[in-house]
Amino acid sequence: MDYLIEVRNIVKRFGGLVAVNDVSMGVGRGEVVAVLGDNGAGKSTLIKVISGVYAPEEGTILFEGKPVRIASPMDALSLGIETIYQDLALAENLNVYSNIFLGREKTRKAAGIFPVLDHEYMHREAAKVLDGLVIKIPSLRSKIKSLSGGQRQAVAISRSIYWNAKILIMDEPTAALGVAQQSQVLELVNTLKARGIGIILISHTMFDVFKVADRIVVMRRGRKVAEKIRTETTPDEIVSYIVGAEAV
Amino acid sequence: MSTENTQTAAQVERRGWVQILARNWALAFLILLFVVFSFTGKGFLGLTNFENILYLSTTFVFLAASETFVIITGGIDLSVGFVMGLSSVLCAQVMQSVYAAHASAAATMVVGALVGLVVGIAPGYVSGILISRYNVPPFIATLGMSGITNGIALTICQGFPVAGLPGDLVRLGNGYLFYSFPGKGSRFFGWPPGVTDSQVRELTRILPNGLLLWLVVIAILLYVLKTTRFGQHTFAIGGSIEAAKRAGIDVRRHLVTIYVLSSFFAGMAGVYNVFQTGVGNFTPFNASYELFAIAAVVIGGASLMGGKGSLVGSVIGVLLLAVLNNGLSISGVAAFYRFIAVGIILVIAVVIDQLFPDLL
Amino acid sequence: MSDRQAARPRTGRLVSFVGRRWALLFLVAEAIAFCFIARGFFTLDTFQLVFIAGVPLFLLGLAETFVIISGGIDLSVGFVFGFASVVSAKLIVALQGAGASPGLAILIGCAATLLIGMIPGYFNGVLVARLRVPPFIATYSMLSVTYGISELLVEGSQAGNLPYLSSVIGTGFIAYFIPGHGFSFFTHERVARGTPVYSIIPLVVVAAFVFVAIFVFLLRMTKFGHHTYAIGGNPDAAVRSGIDVKAHLERVYVISALLATLAGILYMLQFSQGKSDAGASYLLDSIVAVVIGGASLYGGVGTAGGTIIGALLLSVLETGLRVLGVATFNIYIIVGIILIIAVLIDQFFPEITSSESGASP
């Protein structure tokens, strides 16, 4: 299978602890891969290796088939690997489109000399992105502070896809959301999938995983203990991998 | 404290002296200042001068001690300087009126001191309520109170020191616990009978009342902070308000108490100031007492983020600033350099804190 | 949370409207009240006096606005103000002593002071951004250091002996109108005692507003201003968005010191002296102006326009009470109460700042 991004034999140690031990996995175009595991199983370390936060001790990363070096989050971003952390990294005091353009604001020349923010442009562009998403935001001039959890998630996701994410890593996107909003976010994941974005989803919620994932990777004590096609497995089987019953 | 336990013996030994020095840098610096000034300043090393240093630092010990509690909770009290002025002025004003009504000196002093102490509570209570009930940031609430107390103090005294107070005031404020004169016996809080002014030099005087007061205050506050639940909760709130709430601590009430405490000791500093100088002094606008107190607390190892601080450290901070002040002026350095020195030391304090985050 | 916007009741809108603009409404009400109760308040001179008295507050308030929006605080502005007044006065006298004409000495002296005045700001910025010293401590240290240096420069006294031209500029107006003589610009001819001279638009106010305009533009319209809000709102998000937060904060503190320096220079021109503690009492007032203007000390919220309104509110109050003959002491009490009210209003109407047109872009 042609992976958009693939990691091979990744090892990451912290002192004496092997957080990620010889793990290989990949995500294809328009595919959702869920990474499951108990707390401390090594899933977030693996994700941080892919998003450039940690450098692995061993192993290779292939992007569109070619080996790449991801030494910093900026490297990951320039490849089109966007990560949405649980805290979403939004500036609550700014409005929706300002957050989508944060750090990459569009300016125009006022009176031909002074660079000023082009609010109209940013508003228009942000509207284009958000229009394609399931979750509706009443006004793009609303402050993040006044948005619901699901709407915030949508803003964070819009930011990623506006800047041409090819791979989207989502860390517990439905945690801390109400039931209705959870399903909206999952629908959002399906929308992105349809656009050909490869998604790595970290979740604790079996329901979410079985609703959107194509493949499921289970990690336990730093190792990959199972990789299953969603249609060929059951939640019970996955749980037994997570707790280690079937691996013995 | 807990970091120490988790370190291996080898690590502790390897970093031992750096750590001890960095942790106690304020004390080390204080000792260094002592040594340097002993050489550079004629008359620095002498009982009279030490008394001078204590004299100058007494009110600041009160301000810094109470500020320590506030800062440990993660707050700040900018009103202490002007609360001190208000208490001082009001205490003197009451004494003046009572004394003018032919009350005895003793009664005058007691009434005036009580009024000064009681009025000191009010600004802290208001700030405490604003901060804990209405979520007003401590910075703003106490800044507002500083303006209000300053205005009231100035209105009371019309911008002049309040004089016309009993003379016994200064005799007590600048007196000693115990006097002894060869052949004429000894006495607490006063000269033995029969000692004349010309014999003062031969009088043995032990323990200035100011020092006594500040030792008592620090001892009580140390007890409260170190050994009581109240002290424990103070640290807990500074560490995490949420955690403290969930643990069932009445955070609102605790914060009100903290600001009342802070303001009360600022009031005490004001009252003591009257005993020390014999007049009621309003706080000049550019005196920056509160900033001086905060500086001492930070030099003493407290963090403005809350959860960290020590009373002994704050006292060392006050002494460091006072010795610096006194030593520089005795060494003949222009007074203005002390401002620069204070600024630099303050930065060093925090930078050391940043470089060795796992200390204290 | 999601339906907070939709479900805001209609009565709430009025409260919210008033709550959001209370400072402006208070300012207007206050000005009108003084016009009625204070004899001599409603005159061109008093009106201009409000602005002249407000100059340090506009500039220091604006300085503080940048810093507070970025999530910090600058306690040094008052003494950078004094430092600048001393340095500029000393420089001008020295330049004149070296043979420069008064005009040239003033020009070079002021320009050089603007540069020198940025140094304390740079140190503040480095301490806060690179060495992670809390802003409160870093800027307090700088307060101490600048005060010490300016006291050293004046040796405990004041810097004076400035050329006559400086006070001509500092107390001058753009135009004068003398009935019967007509208009004249910058100076007016000598007239007999008792002849009314209408002075129009003070020069210091013009100078202050040129800078105010530049920095309001910077804060409102540019990427720089936008990033200042972002850093105050969520520094982590700003870092992850690729904003160079450390460099940005350094510039914020330099801007703060620059504006304080300008205020100090204008003071020097106005009063023909340099005084190291000239700006001491403005520290509190400038922070109060910013908070009245709707900024939050937690960072990320506030506007330059709000600060100007806050500064005007204080300036009208002070001028009005002076005209009324109320003792200065009471002003401190009133300012303290207004400060607390300002924050309480913020606390009781949290939706004011979270809605679309709240106090940030």
Q: How high is the ipTM of this complex?
A: 0.78
Please tell me the predicted confidence (pLDDT) of residue B3. 40
Q: In chain A, whose CA is at the least distance from the CA of C239?
A: A103
Sign of CA dihedral A186, A184, A124, C304: negative
Overall average pLDDT of the A81-99 stretch: 87
- Burial pattern A77-114, b for ≥16 Cβ within 10 A else e, equals bebbbbbbbeebbbbbbbbbbbbbbbbebebeeeeeee
- Please indicate whether chains A and C are in contact, defined as at least 3 beta carbon pairs under 8 Å: yes
C106 part of contact set with chain A, CB < 8 Å:
no
- Burial pattern B75-98, b for ≥16 Cβ within 10 A else e, equals bbbbbbbbbbbbbbbbbbbbbbeb
- Number of domains comprising chain B: 1
C295 part of contact set with chain A, CB < 8 Å:
no
Residue A154 falls inside a structural domain: yes
Length of chain B (residues): 360
Q: Residue B146: is its pLDDT beyond 50?
A: yes
Record: contact A73-C240, CB cut-off 8 A: yes
Record: contact C237-A102, CB cut-off 8 A: yes
Please tell me the predicted confidence (pLDDT) of residue B55. 82
Which residues is B245 bridged to in the sheet? none
Record: contact B294-C327, CB cut-off 8 A: no
**φ, ψ of residue A138 in degrees (nearest 5):** -55, -50
Q: Residue A61: is its pLDDT beyond 50?
A: yes
Record: contact C339-B147, CB cut-off 8 A: yes
Nearest to C133 among B158, B294, B350 (CB): B350
Query: Does A72 share its domain with A192?
Result: yes
Record: contact C347-B135, CB cut-off 8 A: yes
Rounded CA-CA distance B92/B277 in Å is 11
CA distances from residue B118 to B99, B124, C333 in whole angstroms, order as listed: 19, 11, 20
Give the pLDDT confidence of A156-182 residue by residue, as tens digits.
888 888 888 899 999 888 887 888 888
Query: Does A154 share its domain with A171?
Result: no
Record: contact A114-C222, CB cut-off 8 A: yes
Please tell me the predicted confidence (pLDDT) of residue A146. 86
What number of CA atoms fall less than 13 Å from residue B48's CA on the CB side?
5
Please tell me the predicted confidence (pLDDT) of residue B14. 54
Please tell me the predicted confidence (pLDDT) of residue B360. 42
Q: In chain C, whose CA is at the least distance from the CA of A73?
A: C240
Domain boundary, last residue among A163, A178, A205: A163
Angle C36-C37-C40 (CA atoms, 0-180°, nearest 5)? 80
The domains of chain C are located at 38-354
Nearest to A115 among C222, C229, C354 (CB): C222
> Most confidently modeled of A2-6, B169-173, B190-194?
A2-6
Q: Which residues of C touch B158 (CB under 8 A)?
A: 327, 329
Burial class (CB in 10 A: 0-12, 13-18, 19+), C173: buried
Record: contact C1-A149, CB cut-off 8 A: yes
Give chain A's largest Cα–Cα span: 72
Rounded CA-CA distance C94/A69 in Å is 60
Please tell me the predicted confidence (pLDDT) of residue C85. 97
Residue A211 falls inside a structural domain: yes
Burial class (CB in 10 A: 0-12, 13-18, 19+), B332: exposed
Record: contact C136-B76, CB cut-off 8 A: yes
Enumerate residues 6+ apart whose C-beta is below 8 A from B212. Answer: B177
Residue A88 falls inside a structural domain: no
Burial class (CB in 10 A: 0-12, 13-18, 19+), C13: exposed
Nearest to B154 among C152, C329, C336 (CB): C329
What mean pLDDT, rounded, does chain A reach? 87
CATH topology of domain C38-354: ABC transporter involved in vitamin B12 uptake, BtuC (1.10.3470)
Neighbours of C15 (CB within 10 A): 15
Give the pLDDT confidence of C336-346 residue by residue, as tens digits.
888 888 888 77
Place of tokens 């400072």: C23
Rounded CA-CA distance B274/B58 in Å is 12
Q: What tokens were used for B269?
A: 């500093």
Q: Which of C234, C351, C220 shows the shortest CA–CA distance to A99?
A: C234
- Integer Rg of chain A from CA: 19
Please tell me the predicted confidence (pLDDT) of residue A1. 56
Please tell me the predicted confidence (pLDDT) of residue B178. 77
Rounded CA-CA distance B138/B144 in Å is 10
Domain boundary, last residue among A163, A183, A215: A163
Q: Which residues of C touch A135 (CB under 8 A)?
A: none
Rounded CA-CA distance A93/B293 in Å is 34
Residue type for position B185: G
Please tell me the predicted confidence (pLDDT) of residue B10. 52
Record: contact B340-C140, CB cut-off 8 A: no
Q: What tokens were used for C233?
A: 């709102």
Q: Which residues of B touch C333 (CB under 8 A)?
A: 147-148, 151-152, 155
> Most confidently modeled of B34-43, B324-333, C192-201, C292-301?
C292-301
Give the pLDDT confidence of C251-287 residue by residue, as tens digits.
999 999 999 999 999 999 999 999 998 998 888 889 9
Q: Which of B303, B344, B297 shows the shortest CA–CA distance to B319?
A: B297
Query: Does A174 share its domain with A140?
Result: no
Enumerate residues 6+ apart whose C-beta is below 8 A from B2. Answer: none
C190 or C157, greater pLDDT: C157
Rounded CA-CA distance B179/B195 in Å is 11
What number of CA atoms fall less than 13 Å from residue C144's CA on the CB side?
23
Give the residue numbers spanning the domain of A116.
93-163
Please tell me the predicted confidence (pLDDT) of residue C360. 47
What mean pLDDT, rounded, does chain B reach? 84
In this structure, of B68-82, B108-122, C344-358, the range with the lowest mean pLDDT score is C344-358
Angle C76-B318-B90 (CA atoms, 0-180°, nearest 5)? 80
Q: Residue B9: is its pLDDT beyond 80?
A: no
Burial class (CB in 10 A: 0-12, 13-18, 19+), A69: exposed
**φ, ψ of residue B103 in degrees (nearest 5):** -75, 160
- Number of domains comprising chain A: 2
Q: Residue C359: is its pLDDT beyond 80?
A: no
Record: contact A90-C234, CB cut-off 8 A: yes
Helix locations, chain A, DSSP H: 43-50, 73-79, 96-100, 119-131, 149-162, 179-194, 206-212, 235-243
Please tell me the predicted confidence (pLDDT) of residue B216. 92
Overall average pLDDT of the C127-152 stretch: 90
Record: contact A94-C229, CB cut-off 8 A: yes
Smallest Cα distance from A8 to chain C, Å:
27
Rounded CA-CA distance A242/C141 in Å is 55
C221 part of contact set with chain A, CB < 8 Å:
yes
Residue type for position A213: A
Give the pLDDT confidence of C294-346 residue by residue, as tens digits.
888 888 999 999 999 999 999 999 899 888 888 777 888 888 888 888 888 77
- A neighbours by CB contacts (3+ pairs under 8 Å): C
Q: What tokens were used for B313?
A: 């450290």
Q: Residue B283: is its pLDDT beyond 70?
A: yes
Pick among A108, A143, A152 to test the C interface (most C CBs inside 10 A)? A143
Neighbours of A193 (CB within 10 A): 19
A47 part of contact set with chain C, CB < 8 Å:
no
User: H/E element holding A199?
Assistant: strand A198-202
Which residues is A62 bridged to in the sheet? A6, A67
- Integer Rg of chain B from CA: 22
Overall average pLDDT of the C128-132 stretch: 90
Q: At A218, which CATH number? A: 3.40.50.300
Residue B150 falls inside a structural domain: yes
Nearest to B151 among C138, C330, C347 (CB): C330
- Please indicate whether chains C and B are in contact, defined as at least 3 beta carbon pairs under 8 Å: yes
Rounded CA-CA distance B238/B256 in Å is 14
CA dihedral A96, A98, A104, A105 (to 10 degrees): 140
Query: Does A172 share its domain with A140?
Result: no
Smallest Cα distance from B197 to chain C, Å:
38
**Residue B310 in contact with residue B300, Cβ under 8 Å?**
yes
Q: Residue C136: is its pLDDT beyond 50?
A: yes
Give chain C's largest Cα–Cα span: 72
CA dihedral A189, A191, A194, A199 (to 10 degrees): -20
Record: contact C133-B304, CB cut-off 8 A: no
Q: Which residues of A touch C219 (CB under 8 A)?
A: none
Query: Does A73 share its domain with A170?
Result: yes
Record: contact C223-A115, CB cut-off 8 A: yes
Q: Which residues of A touch C233 (CB under 8 A)?
A: 91-94
Q: Are strands C173-178 and B185-188 parallel, antiparallel or unpaired?
A: unpaired
Record: contact C354-A143, CB cut-off 8 A: yes
Q: In chain B, whose CA is at the least distance from the CA of C133?
A: B350
CA distances from residue C249 to C135, C259, C359 in whole angstroms, order as listed: 11, 16, 21
pLDDT band with cut points at 50, 70 and 90 for residue C351: low
Q: Count of CB contacts below 8 A, A vs C?
A: 101
Enumerate residues 6+ apart whose C-beta is below 8 A from C93. Answer: C105, C159, C161, C162
Q: Residue A184: is its pLDDT beyond 90?
A: no
Rounded CA-CA distance B221/B223 in Å is 5
Neighbours of B244 (CB within 10 A): 20
Dump the DSSP string for C130-186: IS---HHHHHHHHHHHHHHHHHHHHTTS-B----HHHHHHHT-EEEEEETTTEEEES
Give the residue numbers spanning the domain of B238.
28-354
What mean pLDDT, rounded, does chain C reach? 87
Give the pLDDT confidence of C56-77 residue by residue, as tens digits.
999 999 999 999 999 999 999 9
Q: At B166, which CATH number? A: 1.10.3470
**Residue C52 in contact with residue C204, Cβ under 8 Å?**
yes
Record: contact C223-A117, CB cut-off 8 A: yes
Nearest to B143 among C134, C145, C284 (CB): C284
Residue A86 falls inside a structural domain: no
User: H/E element holding A37?
Assistant: strand A32-37
Enumerate residues 6+ apart whose C-beta is below 8 A from B263. Answer: B66, B77, B79, B80, B83, B120, B121, B122, B123, B124, B125, B127
Q: Which of C355, C316, C342 shows the shortest CA–CA distance to C37?
A: C316
A194 part of contact set with chain C, CB < 8 Å:
no
Residue B17 falls inside a structural domain: no
Residue type for position B172: L
Please tell me the predicted confidence (pLDDT) of residue C11. 61
Q: Residue C355: is its pLDDT beyond 50?
A: no
